Amino acid sequence: MHSRMRRPRNRPLCTLMLASVMALGASLNPASGMTSVDAQIAAMSLSQKLGQLLMVGFRGTVYQDSESLQQAVEQAQVGGVILFDRDGERGQYGRNIRGAEQLAQLTRTMQAHSAVPLWIAIDEEGGRVSRLHPRHGFSRKLSAQALGQQSVQATAEQAQRIAQELQQVGVNMNFAPVVDVASNPNNPVIVQLQRSFGSDPLAVTAHARRAVQVYREHGVVAVLKHFPGHGSSQGDSHHEFVDVSKSWSESELLPYQIMIDAGEAEAIMSAHLVHQRWDSEHPATLSRTLIQGLLRDELRFDGLVVSDDLEMAAISKRYPLQEAMERAIDAGVDVLLIANNGVFDPNIALRARGLLEASVQAGRLSEAQVDAAVRRNLLLKHRFGLL
């Protein structure tokens, strides 16, 4: 990496640690030096900690009628769930969302049954990627591309409307904004779907920063995506292996660098893209060089890293689920997203947790790695008032 991509390293370690604890709002026990989050982790069993690393999709619009959701929340004790309006396997709308009142009741009930407050996540970008759709009684939202052609204030106004709708229905995490730079006009998954604010990384950053600020004001975690940048790719990682080694440029990191340095990046989603400059074999989600090396060590991001869906073809066609989860955690990922919306598995949460337990018992994952990921989850939950 060029020196301009590095963050300052000259602040005393004690200052950094104190600032981190204060910023995250975790109370500190002066006698032990242990935060309340550390104490909570110490009291958790391995299976409970592993559950916190999972975010799964489910079928159902009423908690009491959804066995897969009850199993995920009460038995697997997952850290989060993801909501969809459309069932991918059945090709039908109404998978989890039928209206504001119904969705608010669903999220309230699942939180009431969860031992640890849940991340309740959604893809609400606007434009073509909108789960809170007018068909369910929600407002219509412009695409990022349309907003990028307007002022940053227009983005702020739409973010305000989205954040209010999310807050009203109990959603506390939005997989938005997209900070991919539209460097390839023929890109099929970002640019052609109008999901990028534009081709200027500084303009993309300006719009994204304003959206993140608005979400934060409403208690919604914004997840920047898709690291290290999907806007130059020729392919779609939903359907195939994607290599961006020849098309990617360092300017695609600028939104991340600027927002991390400004303290405006709480969570980042990894992309299933291979860049041979860092890792000739594994996509970013499974690459320690890209997540731990580039994102955490070089860009100095110490927040939450969420994987893109591990059932996307770029991963699932090349790695069994257990290996994919092992590699993701080893790479530095904190939330393992399993959308469960292609081929539905009602037992996915318990199955995934069981595979992770076997990985720890076999020594392929350490409990220290698990604890680090759980800690980043709980610290952010504490910061956003969930704990």
User: Which neighbouring-strand residues pair with 220?
Assistant: none
Q: Which of 133, 238, 302, 345 is catalytic?
A: 238
Is the distance from CB of 254 to CB of 201 less than 8 angstroms? yes
Work out whether the CA dihedral 32, 33, 37, 41 comes out positive or negative: negative
Establish whether 382 is a catalytic residue.
Answer: no
Establish whether 238 is a catalytic residue.
Answer: yes
User: What burial class does residue 352 get, using C-beta atoms within 10 Å of its C-beta: 0-12 exposed, 13-18 middle, 19+ buried?
Assistant: buried
Q: Which of 123, 308, 309, 330 is catalytic?
A: 308
Is the distance from CB of 237 to CB of 272 less than 8 angstroms? yes
CA 52-78-37 angle, 5° bins? 30
> How far is C-alpha 88 from the chain's CA centre?
20
Is the distance from CB of 82 to CB of 118 less than 8 angstroms? no
Nearest Cα neighbor of 378 from 35, 72, 14 is 35
Nearest Cα neighbor of 284 from 299, 270, 303 is 270
Is the distance from CB of 41 to CB of 375 less than 8 angstroms? yes
The span from the CA of 48 to the CA of 374, in Å, is 10
CA 176-177-180 angle, 5° bins? 120
C-alpha separations of 82 from 56, 79, 124, 218, 337 in Å? 6, 11, 11, 19, 8
Token pair, residue 369, equals: 């790695």
Instruction: Indicate the DSSP class of residue 97.
Output: -
CA 108-110-114 angle, 5° bins? 115
Instruction: Indicate the DSSP class of residue 343.
Output: S
* Residues acting as catalytic residues: 238, 308
